[in-house]
Amino acid sequence: MTTFDRYLLFRYFHVVGVFTITVIGLFAIVDGFTNLDDFQQKSSDDGTVGLFLRISQYYLYQSAGIVNTSGPTILVISSMCVLALMLKQGEVHPVLAAGIPAYRATLSLAFGLLVVNGLLIFNQEFILPRIASHLQGKRGDLADDSLKVEPQHDILTKIFVSGSGLIPAQQQLEKPEFLLPYPLLATSFVALKADQGYYMPAEGDEHAGWLLENISPSFQELPLTDAGRRVIIPQPNSNNVFVLVGLSFDQLNRQASNPSLIGTPALIRRLQQPTGTVISRRRLLVKLHERLTRPLLTLIGLYLVIPLIMRKEKMSVMQQVTNIATCMAVLGVVFGATLGMQLLGESGVLRPEQAIWGPLIASGGLAGWLTGVVRT
């Protein structure tokens, strides 16, 4: 790297950091004041200090989700701001006058963008899955607070799963109630109830399912068929059973099932589960392709910014403002079209591959077409 490359790179990192802190701060201030009553209700017994601690803890965890959502936009907008400031201060002209092409002069921006993309991937794959239990509740909720259960049928066993609440920190279902289907698993309709239920993911040759503690009625009293005895397995020396139900913990709550809260390997495993509905599988597939193509999309966004900001025309103050406005409009159209295509992919109008790779190919073609207007 040359001295100019390092200077441009550190300036880019500085702008990205400023924008990230600003976005998190604005979100915390606006959202916090708007929903202050929710925080006060949840910490009514803790006093003022407890209220501020609860608010701080909530937005500390939320900052990781905010960065994951707004990160790609921040990366591209930061590159636009860096180039606009350098043009305004005349710092690019000596480099171009020395015969260095514009794309080579801004190569460190591409390197910086890929580095920050790596940090976003680290946040997505390692940080968000570990703090997912803190991001699944409503405002003011802690990881030990109960979430609402959304009862569902398991596609394979036809068992109807419900309960009184979900606790994210322990992956626990409170007061679970499993309605056994007749005549598939039981010789009559029966509701299998328990004090607590814990989801056990598949490991090796072991199947995924729910461990139900202190069931009622007892296993001996259940009118199970042969198929039912293969699905409901008693545990030795206890009144507990293991139920081979594919419905996972996060599938019983819409907020907990957010694909952004799990890593890519877990996302792929969820796609391979036969218990998911067609709509949920389509949504997961769109999110998987979006996650894989996000670094490419942000890189294409950079190469849309360079020719739109560093144009061949004489750079008056008014022309710079016009270029920035044009760049913002083009980026808005590209990112808006990308989000719109994702919605079409999730709704089934387009195939997930078409919905994600279509905007990528179109915006890449536009970036290539704009290379003729860049200043040299």
The model carries a pTM of 0.81
Residue 14: per-residue pLDDT: 96
Q: Which helix (H) or strand (E) holds 20?
A: helix 3-34
* Partners of residue 209 on adjacent β-strands: 200
Per-residue pLDDT band for 319 (boundaries 50, 70, 90) equals confident
Burial of 6 (0-12, 13-18, 19+ CB in 10 A): exposed
pLDDT of residue 204: 73
Q: Are 296 and 360 in contact (CB under 8 A)?
A: yes
Q: From CA 252, how far away is CA 235, in angstroms rounded?
A: 24
- The per-residue pLDDT for 152 is 85
CA separation for the pair 163, 175 (Å, rounded): 5
Q: How high is the pLDDT of residue 277?
A: 60
pLDDT digits (tens, 9 = 90+) for 209-246: 899 999 999 989 999 999 999 999 999 888 999 999 87
Q: What is the average per-residue pLDDT within 263-292?
A: 80
The Cα–Cα gap between 45 and 14 comes to 42
Average pLDDT over residues 149-173: 85
Per-residue pLDDT at 93: 82
Judge whether residue 314 has pLDDT over 80. Answer: no
- Report the greatest alpha carbon distance in the chain: 88
Whole-number Å distance between alpha carbons of 174 and 188: 25
pLDDT for the residue numbered 194 = 93
Strands 232-234 and 172-174: unpaired
pLDDT at 143: 61
Percent above pLDDT 90 for the chain:
46
Angle between helices 264-272 and 278-309 (to 10 degrees): 140
pLDDT score of 376 more than 90: no
Kindly report, residue by residue over 118-147, the tens digit of the pLDDT. 999 999 999 998 888 778 767 766 666 677
Residue 183 has pLDDT above 80, yes or no: yes
Residue 276: pLDDT above 60? no
- Region 252-276: mean pLDDT is 75
pLDDT of residue 257: 65
Angle value at C-alpha 366, between 362 and 368, nearest 5 degrees:
115
What is the residue-averaged pLDDT of the chain?
Answer: 87
Q: Give the sign of the dihedral formed by CA 136, CA 139, CA 144, CA 149.
A: negative
Query: What is the Cα–Cα distance from 136 to 228, expressed in whole angstroms?
Result: 33
Phi and psi angles of residue 289, each rounded to the nearest 5 degrees, phi first: -65, -40
In the numeric block, which tokens belong to residue 9?
């790179």
Note the pLDDT tens digit of each residue in 296-312. 999 999 999 999 998 87
Taking phi first (over 0 means left), then psi (-120 to 50 degrees means alpha), and beta for anything else, what does residue 58 get?
Answer: alpha
